[in-house]
Structures are given as structure tokens and as C-alpha cells.
Amino acid sequence: MPHLHIKEFKEIEFPSQSDGASFYFIAKNASYQEERLICAKVDEDEFFLLVIDEEGKKLLKSDKLTRPTSVYNVHKALLSYANLAGLEVIASNVPHHQKNIHLREVTALKDITYFAQNFPQNKKIRIEVGFGSGRHLLHQASNNPDVLFIGIEIHTPSIEQVLKQTTIQNINNILVLNYDARLFMELVPSNAIEKIYVHFPVPWDKKPHRRVISAPFIEEARRILNVGGTLELRTDSENYYAYSYETFIAPNKTTLHINKNKDIAVTSKYEDRWKKMEKNIYDLTMINDEESLELVLEGSFDFSEVRLKPQAILDLYKTVQRFDGGFLNFERSYTLEDGVMLRLSMGSFDKPEHVYVIIRGEDAHYFAKKPLKSRSNLLAHKFLNETLHG
């Protein structure tokens, strides 16, 4: 993660601007004075920079929850703030080079709002979950120019590599999203997808709840796949294969094809290595046989008038509200010059969303984006709105 190791943190006057980066306000942790969040904006990306004392070192880095896909924009914000504040930098892993020429005119990268508001219509669509090096995604897109591919990945270097290749190879039928695929699936229209690829997901043997493949994931996959559409899992893990087989076969009606050491047109560098080690590769392909009902999600993430006093809002820190279908966890609270802010995890237990909520007087809003419009998130928002309304 890009960061600056600084001798001492200095606060600037807000708002300020320098070298294409704007800084609007600072949020101070109400319980831990060494932690601060600085609201930054570069191009269209709005996010927090984090000031924190880690292992006796003062660091200025990007906040994980709001970090944009463009690492270049994070680098610019870090260097610009350090310059504005006159910070003494002891060590840094932030480069001063210009943005990669192949990333200057990128149209393939989309945020979750794009899909929530403008999900592609009247197209053949395939989704790849966790595309890694991008070999398979780029190969499929090159060989199927009439199909739109949505690649989902949370590893920033992998995203930038694929974005560069789409420019270099002039591939125009890939959209890239940096997001949790399990949450993304909940906003996809029913019967809209012809294939879902999940190739070599992290096994998470010690944390199975973090696995992509789960009963809810398969349920959503069956909903969004068209009749005859497929969900393809490819894995080298014996444990993941056994777990996935049991999960795939659990529904009352399932069509499942299984292959072992199947040859495919393109392989990843890791798969090449595993084959040399004579490691088995398993393919499980689920075929969807039924048409699903149309997806209907009613509600919004607007807040009504906030009546709870600022101190009462800060006192929500470390409290948890549970309800049928989800929860609200008030993880941290912050003070602003003109209000307060909360950091929460919310929604379903197996795939929670992490958000910030800024409250100034009677008004509240999410930062930097609203939660994904899902059943569990809408329900969690209802409870949060009622709590702040008092």
C-alpha cells in the first residue's frame, strides 16, 4: 500500500488545492487521537487519506475503505498533501513518475454506481470473478468480440495490468470493476448473463466464510444466468473442489458437469506451474435450467432529518444492532469541525459492506458512495435511519 513515513503530521487549512489534488476537511477519531482521515479528491475520485501511528511510526497513506482503483490518484494526493503541509518525509514508497501512458485514456474502468444505474442491456454478457493476471479474460474478449465481458477484481496491480492490455490490444468489449463480486451479483438483472467464470479463487481454508463460492452466491448465479447459462469453477485445491461440489449439488434441482485436468485454450502462469508439478485441476460447471423472476428492489439510501445529538451519535461507537437478515456495526466515530462521522459495517453477515456516514446538523449522507442497493443493505439503512432520527 502506498504510504509516506513522516516525522510529524501537520494539518493544513481546509479547503486547499495543489497540483490537481483538492483537500476538503479532516475527521478525527473520537477514541484514538493518533488517527485522522483527510478528505481528498483527484479527478473524479473522492477518498480519504489516513494518518495513523503504526508500530511507533507516523504514516500518511490511503484509507482502505475508500481507496480508488487509480493508484496514480492516491500517489498524487499523498505527495500533494505532504507538499502543502511541509511534511518531513523519512521514507516513502510513493513514486514521483507520471501516469502510465496506457492508463491516461481508460474507458473500461467503471465503478459500482455505473452498473447500479446503467447495467448493460440487450447484449451477450459474461462475468469473470477474480481475473488475476487477466490472461483468460483478455483471451475470451479477443475471441468473442460480440460479447461484453465484465471483469471483477480487488487486486489493484491486476486491474491496472488488464486496463493497460485493453489499450495496447485495442480491446473494446471489457468493463472492469474493483468490487466484491458477491455484492455485485445482487444488482445484476435476472436472466441477463450467459457465463460466469470463477477460475482459481483463493481457497481460504482457514476462513471458509470468505470463499466466493457459497450457497447464496450459487443462488444469485442461478437467478442472473439465462436458461442454458453456466457457472464455471476451476480450482487446483482438493479442499475447495470437495467443498464446492457439496455446495453446488445441494439445491433440489441441479445440472452439474465435472472434469479433471481438462485442457483449455488459455492458462495462467500459476496453472502452468501446477501442471509441471502434476497437480490436479478440477472443473465444475453448473448449467442453469430455469428462468428467474425479475429482480425488484424497492427503497433508497436517503436519510430523514437527524434528531440524535452529536454526542449521542459518537456514543454509538462499538454498538451492534442485529435484525432478521443482517446487522449494523458502529465500528468507529469521528469528529469534524462542523459535525460528526461514523464508520460502519452493514448488511448481511456473510458479505457485509463497509461505509462512512457524515452527519452535519440535521443532514446525513454516505461517503464517498452509497451502499450497493441490495435487500440486506436497504434493510440495514432503514435501521440506521431510524437510529439517527431518534
Note the pLDDT tens digit of each residue in 62-98: 999 999 888 889 999 999 999 999 999 999 999 876 6
Q: Long-range contacts: 310-317, Cβ < 8 Å, 24+? A: 310/339, 310/340, 310/359, 313/340, 313/342, 313/359, 313/388, 314/30, 314/340, 316/342, 316/387, 317/30, 317/31
Query: What CA–CA distance (Å, rounded) separates 384 from 328?
Result: 7
pLDDT at residue number 328: 96
pLDDT at residue number 41: 97
pLDDT at residue number 297: 84
Cα separation values, 103 from 66, 117, 199, 383, Å: 20, 25, 26, 41
Least confident of 112-116, 130-134, 244-248, 338-342: 112-116
**Section 286-301 average pLDDT:** 93
- Averaged pLDDT of the chain: 92
Query: What CA–CA distance (Å, rounded) separates 291 from 276?
Result: 42
Note the pLDDT tens digit of each residue in 92-116: 999 876 666 555 556 888 988 889 8
247 is written with which cell numbers? Answer: 455446495
Residue 7 identity:
K
pLDDT at residue number 104: 54
Nearby residues of 19 by Cβ (< 8 Å), 6 or more positions away: 76, 79, 80, 83
Query: What CA–CA distance (Å, rounded) separates 284 from 200?
Result: 12
Q: How does residue 278 score in pLDDT terms, banded at 50, 70 and 90?
A: confident
Q: Decide which of 92 and 351 is more confident.
A: 92
Note the pLDDT tens digit of each residue in 213-255: 999 999 999 999 999 999 999 999 999 999 999 999 999 889 9
Flag whether pLDDT at 33 surpasses 90.
no
**Section 336-347 average pLDDT:** 97
Q: How does residue 334 score in pLDDT terms, banded at 50, 70 and 90?
A: very high
Residue 85 identity:
A
> Phi and psi dihedrals of 220, rounded to 5?
-65, -40
In this prediction, what percent of the chain has a pLDDT beyond 70?
97
Q: What is the H or E stretch that residue 115 is in?
A: helix 112-118
Query: What CA–CA distance (Å, rounded) separates 84 from 80?
Result: 6
Flag whether pLDDT at 181 surpasses 90.
yes
Does the pTM surpass 0.75? The reply is yes
pLDDT at residue number 390: 83
Helices (H), 178-322: 181-184, 215-224, 238-249, 269-276, 310-314
Flag whether pLDDT at 186 surpasses 70.
yes
**Section 369-376 average pLDDT:** 90
